[in-house]
Amino acid sequence: MILIAEETERQIAEKFFPGHEILITGVGALNLLKNLRDLPLSTPIINIGYVGSANFEIGSLVEIGEVRLYHPNVSYPEPAYRCMPGLADEYGIEVAHTNVPIFTNVDFVLESKERDCVFDMELAFILGMGFTNVRSLKIVSDNLSLSEYHQQTLKGV
């Protein structure tokens, strides 16, 4: 199953995974919980979507490795998850970066000292729900700018 947060991400899913079932969950944790709570935790999931990055080029396609929540102001350890590797190779998709760390936040990240990573609003919650067969492909839509995000997603980066 292909999971996307918004209709604007459908074109990415259909380009790389034609014919696969697509579920639009809505943005954020509460929408994920509502839409995924009845799925078996063993359901194979490919999460696709737009992400921000402090330094990756807009339009870059990345395959996700480590997944964490993003709370830059806390000092306690938070859980870390891993996406299953090999998605790009299996489907013959050329990506700019593999095994990329992703930080999930409940809000749009507008600034960060973190580099060579991406930011989203869903992936850590999918894994935190207990899904075990998760892979993720993301496209950089912005460099931590909400206006860039809107411009790029309207163009269909």
Q: What is the CATH number of the domain that holds 101?
A: 3.40.50.1580
Which of 2, 125, 126, 102 lies closest to 52 in space, CA to CA?
102
Encode 118-157: b = buried (16+ Cβ within 10 Å), e = exposed: bbbbbbbbbbbeebeebbbbbbbbbebbeebbeebbeeeb
User: Does residue 45 register a pLDDT over 90?
Assistant: yes
For residue 15, give its domain range: 2-155
Backbone φ, ψ for residue 142 (5° rounding)? -160, 165
Identify the pLDDT of residue 152: 83
Rounded-to-integer distance, Cα 68 and Cα 125, Å: 9
**Number of domains the chain contains:** 1
pTM of the model: 0.93
Rounded to the nearest 10°, the torsion over CA 103, 104, 108, 112 is: -20
Comparing 154 with 53, which gets the higher pLDDT? 53
Could you read off the pLDDT of 93-143 as tens digits, one per residue? 999 999 999 999 988 899 999 999 999 999 999 999 999 999 999 999 999
Q: How many CB atoms lie within 10 A of CB 14?
A: 15
Q: Of 52-56, 67-71, 110-114, 146-150, which gets the smallest average pLDDT? A: 146-150
